[in-house]
Chain A
């Protein structure tokens, strides 16, 4: 290959090569590009990335607490006006960057405009994946442990409400004690992720999605049918599971006029699609220039909705209601999450299904959650692996190992300091706030810096599905406004209703920040800001929270420094067309 021939991968020019000559970035000779093996594999992998534990645990609780069936109206509106456009934008950015040899966000964003700072926006696409993977693998490891304990009959002897706190180490005397079993399962989970990633895209990620997603759908369908068919004749059943289904779907139309309902719906759509992470970009980067993205992206998003809206609402709450009664389920899901029901209640309830079906049902439920988890955590690992390969010529297995080690180190913080609140801090700052920031930035950059005309053409290049033209304007104006509203709500969510908070602001001059809002968390609203307990001298959860934030900021800075190092001495040629001539 000569320096003057542009092909994907050589848009980055190193002017200071060993011989002093301008040379293409990457190995000389034909570049063998990594591609998806099949289109079905790609769609399953992207859908698997989106389908996570939240589809089964968060969605039904959010729907039930925010207007029931009426929640579905803002939810579907948000899906169409924010979720789908974001999916197309991320696929578009990913495929565009992939043509220049970039499979991670920094390189892709550097290609969206001439400003040097654009590549640093892409730091979010690595930071989020790495840090979310750390605590997400921990949750994933719980599901794996629960599969084991379901099959070995642990929950027939010990209730999950007793088992889980002991497993997590919250019953240990110090907030820095190490929960041994949880640590072992966590390390096993990270090792499994690392091994799959080391096998490469087709033999690793794609194969895992082809096995995991069908099994997830089969397990989900079996549990939904069995759960909804529970009746008065079944041992332990005190209420019809349809009462639980009604709890999720009964429309409370007053909720439609409540801004909180719309924000909750937009938030749920946002998190369920795994947008704002950088993993969709990475998967799309392995497409060819004229491969379809419109149909693939829409299908992957729809499969996620199928799992969430149908299977997600038909398992957890109906089964729990059948055995516990509606009042108990309402109390358990009051916070908008079904995690407690899933890990504390359901394992014991499955023992009512008999000595054979009970363990199998438990294994299917937690197996389903495990497959939902691992297909997502692999999608978090791939961008990190790709970044190391693209920018530092790291070998696949070494890059996977680096990801595994980083996940281990950060994840162990979550394991050991779980009782102190590190896990929740990771979840909030990396799994929530960082996503919104990145999505807001990317949709602005795509629509306003890359340009909506070029962007729309990029999305529709090679499309197998004709997208309505009005979405061009939705991407430019409506989607940023939607995400902006979600971002604003995350920043200043009040502890009271919005109207009441506005009244408080006018009358007292102070906005009542919710302790769960970004600003509320930053200033530790409602807590005594002390790092050490004055009586015992031991560290307090506030210390752990602040320590976690410092660690996360350091990780972000380190990734930014790596990006800076990777780009040092490189000149980006912006007028190069993939496959065309380089004009120096």
Chain B
């Protein structure tokens, strides 16, 4: 693989994976609303 392809792949994968994992953790750790 070329260097530019590696850079793009690693940057995009890190960004997407990081964002997804952050959000999934936030969903799992946010307590349910108790307003009913």
Contact = CB atoms under 8 A, between A and B. Distances in A.
B26 A69 contact: no
Interface string A36-57: 0001100100000000000000
Interface in B16-35: 16-17, 19-20, 23-24, 26-28, 30, 32-33, 35
Contacts of B27: 39-40, 43, 295-296, 299
Contact of A464 (B4, B30, B36): B30
B31 to A, nearest CB: 10
Contact of A245 (B4, B9, B19, B32): B9
Interface stretch (A17-25, A133-141, A304-312, A382-390): A304-312
Interface stretch (A200-208, A246-254, A552-560): A246-254
Given A296-B27, A299-B27, A310-B17, A290 B1 contact: no
Given A295-B26, A295-B30, A299-B24, A249 B17 contact: no
A246 B4 CA distance: 10
Nearest to A308: B16
A190 B20 CA distance: 32
B32 A246 contact: no
Contact of A69 (B5, B17, B24, B36): B5
B11 to A, nearest CB: 9
Contacts of A292: 30, 33
Interface string A52-89: 00000000000000001100100010000000000000
Interface residues on B, range: 20 to 34
A295 B6 CA distance: 31
A298 interface: yes
A341 interface: no
Q: Majority SS of interface residues in chain B?
A: helix
A242 interface: yes
A43 B23 CA distance: 11
A429 B32 CA distance: 41
A309 B24 contact: no
B12 A303 contact: no
A571 interface: no
A246 B24 contact: no
Interface string B2-15: 10111011001100
A465 B13 CA distance: 23
B1 A242 contact: yes
A249 B33 CA distance: 42
A179 interface: no
Given A249-B9, A292-B30, 19 more contacts: A40-B28, A43-B24, A43-B27, A72-B12, A245-B1, A245-B5, A249-B1, A249-B5, A249-B6, A250-B4, A251-B5, A290-B35, A295-B26, A296-B27, A302-B24, A305-B19, A305-B20, A306-B16, A309-B16
